[in-house]
Chain A
């Protein structure tokens, strides 16, 4: 599992590559939380295009980060999950809480209302 971070102007983009299950959930959770604590982040973009498998442990990581951000007025969005991953996200009803977008620009427009 590989995590890549990019941040600028209250926006944190996290690219996750690999599988999101109970074996990787702890590391993903800790790494994202560290960045959220170190920097003043309002918008969290999770690029799942490189995620090949997700189960409830992985979804728990996404929902947990969303809830923490939401408490402080922040927002989260998911970018381009693979079809198999998107089906699992939708089965969990995640799209009702967190928008799922095709690209980074669309996500930012949705979250911030500005053109990026």
Chain B
């Protein structure tokens, strides 16, 4: 699990920053041997996690800060997305497919993160915030080791 590269971002939880954050993460991830399909999946997963922080963590109230950190290893990507919002009382329930507190989002957010990433971990404390950790491995036939660059 050698770390080869790392970046950190801090931005306000505003809808216009969802697109910004997913493009930054996908650009960073492109340093590894991910396919274009993989990069699209990384964009969707990042978009879901950041949208979750804005919509649920900060209840759509402007001013909340989102911290995003991403690390690259030899053949893996990790993305951490953190907010200081209301937190999730029941993580298991929140991660159920189709569970939603917002009728227009259909409860697909965590389903997409789970479908498009290899590992999804959620840490949360009520009224303190939520951290979502997403991990994705480069598929063996696409892998080009960072050390080979």
Give chain B's interface residues, CB within 8 Å of chain A. 15-16, 18-19, 22, 37, 40, 43-44, 47-48, 51, 54-55, 102-106, 108-109, 111-112, 115-116
Contact B104 A60 (CB under 8 A): yes
In the complex where A64-B103, A87-B37, A91-B115 touch, is A22 in contact with B108 (Cβ < 8 A)? no
Instruction: Give chain B nearest CB distance to A97 CB in angstroms.
Output: 11
Contact B104 A23 (CB under 8 A): no
Would you call A88 an interface residue if the criterion is a C-beta within 8 Å of the partner chain's C-beta atoms?
yes
In the complex where A21-B47, A21-B51 touch, is A60 in contact with B40 (Cβ < 8 A)? no
Instruction: Give chain A nearest CB distance to B140 CB in angstroms.
Output: 21
Would you call A55 an interface residue if the criterion is a C-beta within 8 Å of the partner chain's C-beta atoms?
yes
Contact B54 A22 (CB under 8 A): yes
| 14 contacting pairs across A/B (C-beta < 8 A) | A21-B15, A21-B51, A22-B47, A22-B55, A25-B104, A53-B22, A53-B44, A55-B47, A55-B112, A56-B51, A56-B109, A57-B105, A59-B108, A87-B37
Would you call A2 an interface residue if the criterion is a C-beta within 8 Å of the partner chain's C-beta atoms?
no
Question: Within the assembled complex, what's the spacing in Å between the Cα atoms of A87 and B43?
Answer: 13
A17: B residues at CB distance < 8 A: none
Instruction: Give chain B nearest CB distance to A66 CB in angstroms.
Output: 11
Contact A60 B47 (CB under 8 A): no
Q: With contacts A57-B104, A88-B112 known, what are 10 further pairs, Cβ within 8 A?
A: A21-B18, A21-B51, A23-B16, A57-B51, A59-B106, A59-B108, A60-B102, A61-B104, A64-B104, A91-B112
Instruction: Give chain B nearest CB distance to A109 CB in angstroms.
Output: 28
Question: Within the assembled complex, what's the spacing in Å between the Cα atoms of A92 and B19?
Answer: 20
Question: Within the assembled complex, what's the spacing in Å between the Cα atoms of A21 and B115?
Answer: 18
Question: Within the assembled complex, what's the spacing in Å between the Cα atoms of A57 and B105?
Answer: 5
B116: A residues at CB distance < 8 A: 91
Would you call A29 an interface residue if the criterion is a C-beta within 8 Å of the partner chain's C-beta atoms?
yes
- B23 to chain A: closest residue by CB: A53
A63: B residues at CB distance < 8 A: 106
Instruction: Give chain A nearest CB distance to B117 CB in angstroms.
Output: 12
B40: A residues at CB distance < 8 A: 84, 87
